């Protein structure tokens, strides 16, 4: 181990990323910022492409454009959150509330993620390993899969390469604490149930849709498309025994997959549940207007029946002369609907729609509804059930009649780590990342040579403080080296921005911690390597080439 990869302790390695906008640059970006004891920066722009090079400079766009929710909004609901959650490394989610509440109430839940075996597992993958393991330790069913079909079809890897990489992913996952007895490890190519489910899901998605989501075109391999439905099946696989909240920890590049899986889970359902006020179908925006009219009118005349015609008249009064925007169009269509329904009374109800139920299942549903109900061709309106009760009932009938009854999968998103050389951490640039297989000394050296958020000179650093928020070395502390020790992470941060910490010493400390981590990790890998045969995962494909 030498020091010659780094300038003397007093010299600073300037950030090479002065031109890359920092995630934290905007004071209004409160929710997309890392907490003071977590820091990160990214590259150019938002591009969510599962097979391209995804970069995210501005995590806010993920919230605004894609509807990912801010993790900090659910943080309080999570019992003893993981440090990656506390530090804002896990920054976003979809419906994680479901998981948090299952954890609190000791209800069943699952966590699943998958790994494309295209190279060595590195410290970016460790985030996901840790997330799966943490949920397992919190009582969740845990699943980790090797996405070998995807690696073969989308990345063109040979089966020999895939086998070797798969083995390495599995060993690191085990070394980090995954319990293979309690959880399930599988490869896509070996899981018949996943493939059967993929086939069924494929019947609900068509080419135009994949084209729109993934930019597929006439040249796209059929196998590549098959790997997409396989991933959809992976995501829903934990629910094959029974529906349960399932969280999929991933990077934001996988969000297109998450959205599609949520759509497909929905499309597989026999019934849909919505709220309504009258016999006709209204969309969400129209329903809101009708609801508003209903509330106002029934408050004004508590003893009278509010009829559709009355609501139409009330909404007429809301019209803004000359307006032609979306709101105005919705208002028009709502008024027309209500007019046509005329004397029909408005009454809040919970509607259960028949989507793909058999006649028998629909009959059974109608039968099972307690209290007042009104049956139509393709839906039934219930007047004494809450929405939750209706959803529960619909799911039970579906399960009794051989349906899946899927819940929509939840997800959590972690930040991409910045590469040690600045820019993106990439498997194809060895110096940019630390592989979990790197020789511990090599790991030490890579950290010592990393780009920092330091100032040009030690003097300036003492005066102005370092830019921990833009420092890949600080990220190493926050994402990995400080582990569960928030105080330590905060100390590094505070000392850095306060000008007490200089980059040479800071990197030395990080490099030593990295070396220790790798030594320990690799020891554990070696122990597992001897026991790998006992596991129920085949690491030798016997496929023809």
196 touches 237 (CB < 8 A): no
Residue 235 interacts with which of ligand TRP, ligand SF4, none, CB < 5 to 8 Å by class: ligand TRP
State the DSSP H helix or E strand holding residue 34, giving kind and residue range, or none if neither: none
114 binds, among ligand TRP, ligand SF4, none (CB under 5 to 8 A by kind): ligand TRP
Of these partners, ligand SF4, ligand TRP, none, which one is at the site of residue 234 (CB under 5 to 8 Å by kind)?
ligand TRP
Return the one option of ligand TRP, ligand SF4, none that residue 453 interacts with (CB less than 5 to 8 A, by type): ligand SF4
Token code pair at residue 203: 């019947």
Q: Which is nearer to ligand SF4, 307 or 448 (CB)?
A: 448
* Smallest distance, ligand SF4 to C-beta of residue 451, A: 9
Q: Does 452 bind ligand SF4 (CB under 6 A)?
A: yes
Beta-bridge mates of residue 375: 380
Residue nearest to ligand TRP (CB): 114
Contact 282, 315 (CB under 8 A): no
Q: Rounded to an integer, what distance in angstroms lies between the CA atom of residue 532 and that of residue 539?
A: 9
CB atoms within 10 A of CB 360: 11
Token representation of residue 97: 């509330």
3-state secondary structure of 205: coil
Closer to ligand TRP by CB, 110 or 393: give it.
110
50 binding partner (options ligand TRP, ligand SF4, none; Cβ < 5 to 8 Å by kind): ligand TRP
Calculate the CA dihedral of residues 36, 176, 237, 261 and round it to 10 degrees: 30
> C-alpha angle with apex 525: 520 to 529, nearest 5 degrees?
150
Shortest separation between residue 480's beta carbon and ligand SF4, angstroms: 14
CB contact at 8 A, 529 and 493 = no
Dist. CA 403–CA 395, nearest whole Å: 9
CB closer to ligand TRP out of 157 and 282: 157
Nearer Cβ to ligand TRP (143/362): 143
Q: How many residues bind ligand SF4 (CB under 6 A)?
A: 14
Q: Given the complex with ligand SF4, which of 403 and 453 has the nearer CB atom?
A: 453
Query: What does 393 interact with, of ligand SF4, ligand TRP, none (CB < 5 to 8 A by kind)?
Result: none
Chosen residue from 380, 385, 393, 471 binding ligand SF4 by CB under 6 A: 471
> Between residues 124 and 454, which has the closer beta carbon with respect to ligand SF4?
454
Residue 74 near which of ligand TRP, ligand SF4, none (CB within 5-8 Å, type-dependent): none
For 326, counting Cβ atoms within 10 Å of its Cβ (0-12 exposed, 13-18 middle, 19+ buried), the class is exposed
Binding of residue 454 to ligand SF4 (CB under 6 A): yes
- Helix ranges (H only) for 31-118 are 59-66, 72-75, 83-86, 97-105
* Binding site residues, ligand TRP, CB under 6 A: 50, 112-116, 145, 147, 150, 231, 234-235, 248, 250, 254
Distance in Å, CB of 234 to ligand SF4, minimum = 38
Q: Which does 496 bind (CB under 5 to 8 A by kind): ligand TRP, ligand SF4, none?
A: ligand SF4
Of 313-321, 354-362, 379-387, 467-475, the segment contacting ligand SF4 by CB under 6 A is: 467-475
To ligand SF4, the closest distance from the beta carbon of 469 in angstroms equals 9
Q: Name the DSSP class of 280.
A: S
**Residue 506 in contact with ligand SF4, rule: CB under 6 A:** yes
| E strand or H helix that includes residue 358 | none
The item of ligand TRP, ligand SF4, none sharing an interface with residue 398, based on CB under 5 to 8 Å by kind, is: none
- The pair of structure tokens assigned to 87 is 């530090």
Sites for ligand SF4 among residues 175-214 (CB under 6 A): none
Q: Does 490 bind ligand SF4 (CB under 6 A)?
A: no
User: For residues 413 and 62, is the Cβ–Cβ distance under 8 A?
Assistant: yes
CB–CB of 207/64 below 8 Å?
no
Bridge partners (DSSP) of residue 112 are 143
- Rounded Cα distance, 196 and 226, in Å: 12
Residue from 83, 159, 277, 474 in contact with ligand SF4 (CB under 6 A): 474
Contacts for 253 with CB less than 8 Å, ≥ 6 apart: 48, 49, 50, 52, 54
CA angle, 450 as apex, 155 and 470 as ends, to 5°?
A: 90
Cβ pair 388, 398 in contact under 8 A: no
Q: How far apart are CA 108 and CA 110, in angstroms?
A: 7
Instruction: Note whether 480 binds ligand SF4 by CB under 6 A.
Output: no
Q: How far apart are CA 24 and CA 32, in angstroms?
A: 8
Q: H or E element: which one contains 464?
A: helix 458-464
Minimum CB–partner distance for residue 114 and ligand TRP (Å): 3
Q: Which of 232, 503, 514, 518 binds ligand SF4 (CB under 6 A)?
A: 503
Tell me the C-alpha to C-alpha distance, in Å, between residue 323 and each of 171, 311, 327: 63, 20, 8
Region of 184-192, 295-303, 365-373, 465-473 interacting with ligand SF4 (CB under 6 A): 465-473
Residues 226-265 that bind ligand SF4 (CB under 6 A): none
One of 197, 385, 468, 514 touching ligand SF4 (CB under 6 A): 468
Q: Please report how close the Cβ of residue 92 comes to ligand TRP at its closest, in angstroms.
A: 15
**Between residues 34 and 357, which has the closer beta carbon with respect to ligand SF4?**
34
501 binds ligand SF4 (CB under 6 A): yes
Q: Smallest distance from the beta carbon of 132 to ligand TRP, in angstroms? A: 10
Q: Measured between alpha carbons, how far is 32 from 21 in angstroms, rounded to an integer?
A: 14
Structure tokens belonging to residue 202: 């494929």
Please report, as ranges, the residues that interact with ligand SF4 according to CB under 6 A: 452-454, 466-468, 471, 473-474, 496, 501, 503, 506-507
């Amino acid at each position: 181990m030498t020091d010659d990869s780094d300038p003397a302790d007093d010299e600073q390695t300037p950030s090479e990323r002065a031109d890359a906008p920092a995630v934290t640059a905007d004071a209004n970006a409160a929710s997309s910022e890392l907490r003071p004891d977590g820091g990160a920066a990214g590259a150019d722009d938002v591009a969510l492409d599962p097979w391209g090079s995804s970069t995210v400079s501005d995590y806010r766009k993920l919230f605004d454009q894609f509807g990912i929710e801010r993790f900090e909004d659910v943080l309080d609901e999570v019992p003893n959150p993981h440090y990656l959650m506390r530090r804002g490394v896990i920054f976003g989610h979809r419906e994680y509330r479901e998981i948090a509440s299952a954890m609190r109430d000791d209800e069943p839940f699952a966590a699943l993620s998958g790994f494309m075996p295209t190279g060595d597992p590195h410290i970016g993958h460790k985030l996901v390993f840790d997330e799966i393991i943490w949920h397992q330790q919190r009582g969740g069913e845990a699943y980790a899969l090797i996405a070998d079909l995807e690696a073969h079809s989308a990345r063109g890897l040979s089966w020999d390469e895939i086998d070797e990489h798969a083995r390495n992913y599995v060993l690191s996952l085990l070394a980090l604490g995954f319990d293979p007895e309690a959880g399930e490890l599988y490869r896509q190519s070996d899981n018949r149930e996943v493939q059967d489910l993929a086939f069924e899901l494929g019947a609900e998605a068509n080419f135009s849709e994949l084209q729109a989501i993934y930019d597929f075109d006439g040249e796209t391999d059929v196998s590549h498309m098959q790997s997409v439905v396989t991933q959809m099946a992976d995501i829903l696989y934990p629910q094959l025994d029974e529906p349960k909240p399932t969280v999929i920890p991933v990077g934001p590049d996988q969000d297109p997959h998450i959205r599609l899986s949520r759509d497909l889970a929905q499309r597989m359902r026999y019934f849909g549940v919505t709220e309504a006020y009258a016999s006709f179908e209204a969309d969400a925006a129209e329903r809101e207007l009708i609801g508003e009219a209903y509330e106002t009118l029934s408050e004004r005349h508590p003893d009278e029946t509010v009829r559709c015609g009355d609501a139409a008249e009330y909404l007429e009064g809301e019209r803004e002369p000359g307006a032609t925007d979306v709101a105005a169009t919705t208002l028009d269509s709502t008024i027309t609907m209500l007019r046509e329904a005329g004397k029909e009374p408005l009454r809040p109800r919970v509607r259960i729609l028949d989507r793909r139920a058999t006649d028998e299942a629909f009959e059974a549903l109608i039968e099972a509804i307690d209290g007042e109900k009104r049956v139509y061709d393709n839906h039934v309106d219930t007047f004494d059930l809450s929405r939750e009760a209706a959803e529960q009932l619909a799911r039970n009938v579906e399960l009794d009649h051989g349906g899946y009854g899927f819940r929509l999968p939840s997800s959590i998103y972690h930040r991409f780590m910045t590469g040690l050389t600045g820019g993106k951490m990439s498997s194809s640039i060895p110096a940019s990342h630390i592989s979990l297989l790197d020789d511990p000394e090599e790991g030490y050296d890579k950290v010592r040579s990393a780009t920092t958020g330091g100032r040009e000179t030690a003097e300036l650093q003492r005066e102005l403080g370092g830019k921990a928020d833009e420092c890949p070395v600080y990220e190493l502390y926050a994402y990995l080296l400080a582990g569960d020790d928030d105080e330590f992470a905060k100390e590094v941060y505070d000392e850095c921005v306060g000008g007490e910490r200089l980059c040479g010493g800071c990197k030395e400390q990080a490099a030593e911690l990295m070396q220790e981590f790798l030594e320990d990790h690799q020891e554990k890998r070696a122990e597992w390597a001897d026991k790998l045969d006992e596991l129920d995962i085949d690491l030798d494909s016997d496929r023809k080439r």
